């Protein structure tokens, strides 16, 4: 089967995207014959005249690739944010006109769990949903959110996954000075202001830690300047990181911090950190709560709540946590429930089902 799968750039050294990380794994390990169609802004890319010109040619380029490579099925990855909705509605419409079945895969976004304020966006989203043979979400919570708003959708649950065999499994010594890591897009939705406030409070209370940050985004200059001013040489910014270097940095870290305000689906970086024996402190949003059991395999905080971030980090930094058990539980959670091999089998079954259903129309 020939599958056209959409995602931003797959070069993880240049682009911070959980979708890209997952799609690269699907292409590398999946049984289908995949073609990647690049759709989505790269980090640092400005929305200007050149960007708009590229969007004008996006659908013709998409249709040419469908015909040239004799694609059987379109795997359309999207997030429920305005720009992605507009772009992927156009691509879904083109695939429908071309007679190709569609698997629509949702990866977070502001409107995944929240009602639309804009009727036009809601209309485009529903049309895109109706064009799809199957809609894939990341947890029962997301499925319930969609079906409460739109009836008679074929929604399936397929949580994100990690190639656990590729993750280093080295036990490491727990040092007195812990290292906190942030790895992701430097955007206000990720709770960066809460991170700054929490770290300032912890420093003022004389708790010692290092903070390593990897990523890129609109708030990069602000965040790096604030954290550097506050923590001095205890703060390190490494830009966008991928491959072996990403695993090296996760393996050298103790705490993975992601106090997102909104927009998450099921963060790939969080699953990777758990697999690498980091203890996660993450916001109780979307599908994160389906993975993290507070106090057992990580810690949950409320969105926009810097005081809770301080509280959970204090437990970990003060030595009042069972680090060994937390780390073992985190890795076991990913190994048992979010392994890539099981994920690929379920995805391939969905491809076959959608294709068979479409052939009977």
Domain that holds residue 217: 165-337
Angstrom CA distances, 322 to 163, 296, 317, 335, stand at 27, 9, 11, 20
Task: Check whether residue 193 and residue 141 sit in a common domain.
Answer: no
How confident is the model at residue 173, as a pLDDT? 73
Shared domain for 180 and 74, answered yes or no, is: no
Shared domain check, 332 and 260: yes
CB 230 within 8 A of CB 196: yes
Alpha-carbon span 239 to 220, nearest angstrom:
9
CATH number of 257's domain: 3.40.50.2000
Asked if residue 319 and residue 191 are part of one domain, the reply reads yes
Looking at the structure, tell me whether residues 113 and 48 fall in a common domain. Answer: yes
Residues 170 and 130 occupy one common structural domain: no
The pLDDT score that the predictor gives to residue 179 is 97
Q: What is the pLDDT of residue 68?
A: 96
346 shares a domain with 231: no
Same domain, 129 and 248: no
Rg, the chain, Cα only = 21
Ordered mean pLDDT values, 10 residues apiece, the chain (361 residues): 94 78 93 92 60 76 96 96 94 96 95 93 97 95 95 96 80 83 95 98 95 95 97 96 90 96 93 95 94 96 97 92 94 94 95 79 55
291 and 204 in a common domain: yes
- Residues 67, 101: one domain? yes
How much is the pLDDT for 242? 86
Task: Looking at 98-242, list the stretches that DSSP marks H as alpha helix, in order from N- to C-terminal side.
Answer: 119-131, 140-149, 192-204, 220-231
Rounded CA-CA distance 269/6 in Å is 20
Structurally, how many domains does the chain consist of? Answer: 2
Q: Which pLDDT score is estimated for 355? A: 87
Could you give the CA distance from residue 152 to residue 305 in angstroms, rounded to a whole number?
Answer: 37
pLDDT of residue 52: 61
Is 317 found in the same domain as 212?
yes
Please check whether residues 147 and 180 belong to one and the same domain: no
Which pLDDT does position 97 carry in this prediction? Answer: 95
Closest CA to 291 of 253, 336, 248: 336
């Amino acid at each position: 089967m020939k599958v056209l799968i959409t995602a931003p750039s797959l070069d993880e050294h240049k682009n911070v995207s959980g979708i890209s990380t997952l799609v690269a794994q699907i292409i590398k390990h999946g049984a289908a014959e995949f073609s990647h169609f690049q759709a989505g802004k790269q980090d640092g890319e400005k929305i200007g005249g050149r960007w708009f010109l590229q969007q004008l040619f996006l659908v013709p380029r998409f249709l040419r690739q469908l015909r040239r490579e004799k694609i059987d099925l379109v795997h359309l990855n999207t997030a429920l944010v305005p720009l992605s909705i507009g772009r992927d509605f156009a691509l879904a419409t083109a695939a429908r006109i071309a007679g190709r079945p569609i698997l629509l895969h949702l990866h977070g976004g502001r409107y995944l769990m929240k009602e639309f304020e804009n009727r036009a966006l809601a209309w485009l989203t529903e049309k895109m949903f109706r064009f799809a043979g199957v809609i894939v979400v990341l947890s029962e919570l997301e499925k319930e959110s969609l079906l409460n708003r739109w009836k008679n959708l074929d929604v399936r649950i397929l949580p994100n996954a990690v190639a656990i065999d590729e993750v280093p499994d080295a036990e490491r010594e727990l040092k007195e000075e812990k290292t906190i890591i942030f790895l992701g897009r430097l955007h206000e939705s990720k709770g960066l202001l809460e991170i700054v406030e929490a770290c300032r409070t912890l420093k003022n209370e004389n708790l010692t830690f290092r903070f390593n940050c990897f990523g890129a985004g609109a708030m990069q200059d602000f965040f790096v300047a604030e954290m550097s001013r506050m923590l001095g040489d205890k703060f390190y910014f490494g830009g966008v990181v991928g491959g072996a270097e990403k695993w090296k940095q996760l393996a050298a870290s103790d705490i993975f911090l992601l106090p997102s305000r909104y927009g998450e689906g099921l963060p790939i970086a969080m699953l990777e950190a758990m697999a690498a024996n980091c203890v996660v402190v993450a916001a109780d949003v979307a599908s994160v709560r389906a993975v993290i059991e507070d106090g057992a395999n990580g810690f949950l905080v409320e969105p926009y709540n810097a005081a809770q971030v301080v509280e959970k980090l204090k437990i970990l930094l003060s030595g009042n946590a069972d680090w060994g058990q937390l780390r073992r539980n985190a890795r076991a959670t990913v190994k048992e429930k979010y392994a890539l091999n099981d994920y690929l089998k379920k995805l391939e079954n969905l491809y076959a089902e959608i294709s068979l259903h479409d052939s009977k129309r």
